[in-house]
Amino acid sequence: MGQVIHHTLFDYRGVIVDVDSDFRVGGELNAQEQRPTGPSPDARPWYHVLVDGTADRTYVSEQNLEPDAWGEPVEHPDIIDYFEKRSGSRYVTRPLKVN
């Protein structure tokens, strides 16, 4: 929670707001974020990400993420709902926030 990431396949930045230990979303996935194929695709952690510079939220498999190297803040209208401040390269979650 709060880690700023870079999506390696679609080249966008964002911040993680929630994590699922395995795939938990139904058919509402964005066309770009399809369930991966291969051995145990559902066993990878999946992350809910607020996308920088948009109002979008994506659901991404861990295999497509890397730490963000840019270091700039993420611009998203929902940042304030999840985080109380930015500390270094991470965001600090609001106390008692349920995602």
pLDDT, one tens digit per residue, over 17-74 is: 999 987 876 545 554 455 555 555 556 899 999 999 999 999 999 999 999 999 899 9
pTM of this structure: 0.79
Residue 31 has a pLDDT of 44
Q: Under DSSP, is residue 3 helix (H, G, I), strand (E, B) or coil?
A: strand
- Binning the chain into helix, strand and coil, the percentages to the nearest 5 are 10, 35, 55
